[in-house]
Structures are given as structure tokens and as C-alpha cells.
Copies of this chain bind each other. A is one copy, B any other.
């Protein structure tokens, strides 16, 4: 039985699968080693520390989220792109809660950290969604933060079982998307005065 040769990347991939099952907080070197059929200290031949491992998961997660959104909005624009992109992000979080949590917990370790371009790609995808709405350039950054906050907030609350009331979460999410879509379309037309 030739075991697949372990690499830092493959170890991180296995760890990502693990945290999706047991939760990011419950990541442990022992558990991961067991999954891989090796003893705990052997992990350190591939990864320098648990923090390093968590960081690799985070990069993986950001990359995957970015890809998921990008793929989802391929060939779509305007409202369709928004709906597809937001659903893709939410679906990713639901299917990979541990990875996504790792992505949120991570912070860049330096200027060359691949985590930085990975997160930038996510933001670029969101920006691409917004490009379908003809927004005032000054407002695009605010719109992006709003969109990101809403989808991120919804997805994390959902992942944390935060929606207790017995009402369809799916329906709420499409409502949210619709709400944002209408607001963006209106904002493009009538302008959005942020000074109240």
C-alpha cells in the first residue's frame, strides 16, 4: 500500500477537511496525525507549527472562496451575478465552515504572505459583482464593504446555528440578496447620500 507522499500542501488539505468536520477550534495535531496514519511529531516534518498549519488552511480557504465566487459569476452580470456570487459564498461557508473560520482568524504574517493576494482575489470577485451596477466610484468601496458584511455575516451566523426561529433560512438569504440588489439598482439611479 504505497501511501500518498505527504507534502505541506497535502497536509494542509487534510487538516482543512478535518476542521470542516470537527470545527476549527477543535483542530489538534494529534487528531490530524491520526488521520494521516502517522504519529504527532512526524507532522513537524511538513509543517513548522500548529499556527503555520492554521495559516495554510486559511490561505486554502480564501483561495477556494475566491475561486467559487469567480466561477459562479462567470457569464453573468447584474442581479444574476450578485445572486450567484452570494449563493456561492454562502454555500462554501456552509460546506466548509472550519476552513472559512480559519480564513477569518488568520492575519497576514508579512508583506509577502500569500494570504494577502488570496483575500484580494475574494474582494476582486465581489468588486466584479458590483461592476454590474453603475455605481458612483466613490461609493463602490462602501458598497463592497456592505455586500461583504451582509453575506459574511449571514453565512457565519448560519454556520454558528445563529438563526433559531423556525423560518426558512434559504428564503431569508434570497430575501437578503434581493434587498441588496434592489438597493444597488436604486442607489445607482437616485444616488445614495451617506450624509444624513
Contact = CB atoms under 8 A, between A and B. Distances in A.
B174 A196 contact: yes
Q: How many copies of this chain does one complex carry?
A: 2
8 contacts: A142-B171, A145-B154, A146-B150, A153-B154, A178-B193, A178-B196, A182-B186, A183-B183
A149 interface: yes
- Chain A contact residues (Cβ within 8 angstroms of B): what range? 35 or more
Most B CB atoms within 10 A — which of A148, A186, A194? A194
Given A145-B154, A150-B150, A183-B183, 10 more contacts: A79-B196, A107-B161, A139-B175, A145-B175, A146-B175, A146-B179, A148-B157, A152-B156, A156-B156, A179-B183
Interface string A152-189: 11101100111111010101101110111011001100
